[in-house]
Amino acid sequence: MQLGVFDRVILLNILPKEGDFTTLKIVRKLREDLSFDDPENSALKFCTPAKCNKCGKITDVPFGKEPPPCDCGGKLTGEGNIKWKAEADIPKEIPIGEKAIDIIKDVLKKLDKDKKLSEQHYNIYEKFVES
């Protein structure tokens, strides 16, 4: 299945962390397939916007790195979002087996039933549940 960065990140975040052995084995493989390799990481340049508590300036901090002090001497605090270079977002063919699709559908249906779906889930809900 062709998936872009946003869909891959969303799927990585909703996959179950618990289950029976078979489910965990399938989820482990799916996480590996959805993850980003070194060339993708280099091209996408993942970063987290961080805001200065003193001057309000927003600075992009490479993902996984500690924010440096702001030029004004204030402290940069991450806002919890992830950004990447949109022009490097080339959909990737991700092999997703029948059982993995069932796991994803179950998670999305549970989010729907619990009324915990958000706008970010819309595209993957359409791809996996509505298709």
Give the DSSP letter string of 79-113: -S--B--GGG---EE----HHHHHHHHHHHHHHHH
Q: What is the pLDDT of residues 13-66, one digit of tens each?
A: 999 999 999 999 999 999 999 999 999 999 999 999 999 999 999 999 998 888
Specify the pTM: 0.86
pLDDT of res. 32: 98
Q: Where are the domains of the chain?
A: 2-37+90-130, 47-83
pLDDT of res. 69: 93
pLDDT of res. 27: 98
Q: What is the pLDDT of residues 73-118, one digit of tens each?
A: 999 998 778 999 999 999 999 999 999 999 999 999 999 999 999 9
pLDDT of res. 43: 96
pLDDT of res. 122: 96
Burial class (CB in 10 A: 0-12, 13-18, 19+), 58: exposed
In angstroms, what CA-CA distances link 46 with 23, 67, 74, 127? 29, 14, 23, 25
Q: What are phi and psi of 60, to 5 degrees?
A: -80, 125
pLDDT of res. 5: 97
